[in-house]
Amino acid sequence: SQQGEEDPQALSIQEGENATMNCSYKTSINNLQWYRQNSGRGLVHLILIRSNEREKHSGRLRVTLDTSKKSSSLLITASRAADTASYFCATGLMDSNYQLIWGAGTKLIIKP
Amino acid sequence: DTGVSQNPRHKITKRGQNVTFRCDPISEHNRLYWYRQTLGQGPEFLTYFQNEAQLEKSRLLSDRFSAERPKGSFSTLEIQRTEQGDSAMYLCASSLVQGRTEAFFGQGTRLTVV
């Protein structure tokens, strides 16, 4: 079964607005990663946050991690049409140094 | 282009046929992973190599699936006696052993079994 669950499953917003996606997980993690996937393409790594970190920024992306609630959020500020994609969270497990467990993703649509 | 390369990009095969996919990882990456992804779902882990050693294989992987990484560089994934349920996107990823652990993905091979 999948570890991560993204919320919402789908999100449609106007260009320029901020988009927030959430991820919940079940077991102890070493790190949590967010990836983007354009339709029919491979996954592109966005950002990695380790279990001892609470917040991380990369350009217009802001990721938070709350290990007590086993949840993470991805915020995309000032959204652009090119941000339209599916976004996945993947957790690196504490007892595994290689395997990532994935959620089903959030489909984000940015309307021009 | 020094990213992860997968071939072919698309494969249509008849049920019962064998298929083989190839993945060329980023050259300095020791770790190589195979995932399967169906529509609307996240990737499911299939198997993992560190150099040429296959260290883990998912319980999801039936005996019809086999993967190799003979010289610790490129890898192949073979599916024997394909079934319609094998239709999916097969993704390959690579990463470094030490340091940052993000994985770099190829564009995937989309398999359709008819």
Average pLDDT taken over every residue of chain B: 91
**Is the pLDDT score of B33 beyond 80?**
yes
Enumerate domains of chain A plus CATH numbers: 5-111 (2.60.40.10)
Tell me which of A19 and A96 has the higher pLDDT.
A19
Q: Is B34 on the interface with A (CB under 8 A)?
A: no
Report residue A42's pLDDT band, with 50, 70 and 90 as the boundaries: confident
Interchain proximity A92–B101, CB inside 8 Å: yes
Residues of chain B with Cβ-Cβ distance to A2 below 8 Å are: 41-42, 44
Best residue in B4, B39, B69, B102 for a mutation probing chain A (most A CBs within 10 Å): B102
3-state secondary structure of B17: coil
The residue-averaged pLDDT of B7-26 equals: 97
Rounded (5°) CA angle A107-A48-A106? 10
User: Measuring CA to CA, which residue among B55, B83, B65 is closest to residue B20?
Assistant: B65
pLDDT over 90 at A34, yes or no: yes
Radius of gyration of chain A from its Cα atoms, rounded to whole angstroms = 13
* Chain A neighbors of B45, CB-CB under 8 A: 99-101
Residue B106 touches chain A, beta carbons under 8 Å: yes
B59 touches chain A (CB under 8 A): no
pLDDT at B1: 52
- How far apart are the C-alpha atoms of B41 and A4, rounded to whole Å? 11
Contacts of B57 in chain A (CB under 8 A): none
pLDDT above 70 coverage of chain B, percent: 94
Mean pLDDT comparison of A92-96, B5-9, B45-49, highest-scoring range = B5-9
What is d(CA A87, CA A74) in angstroms, rounded to the nearest whole number? 9
pLDDT level of residue A29 (50, 70, 90 thresholds): confident
**Of A73, A94, A74, residue with least CA distance to A27:** A94
Average pLDDT over residues B78-82: 97
* Least confident span in A29-33, A86-90, A92-96, B33-37: A92-96
The answer to whether the Cβ–Cβ distance between B100 and A104 falls below 8 Å is: no
Cα–Cα–Cα angle for A59, B104, B53, rounded to 5 degrees: 150
Whole-number average pLDDT of chain A: 90
Is B57 at the interface with chain A, CB within 8 A?
no
**List of chain A residues whose C-beta atoms are within 8 Å of the C-beta of residue B88:** none
A chain contacts of residue B41, beta-carbon cutoff 8 Å? 2, 104-105
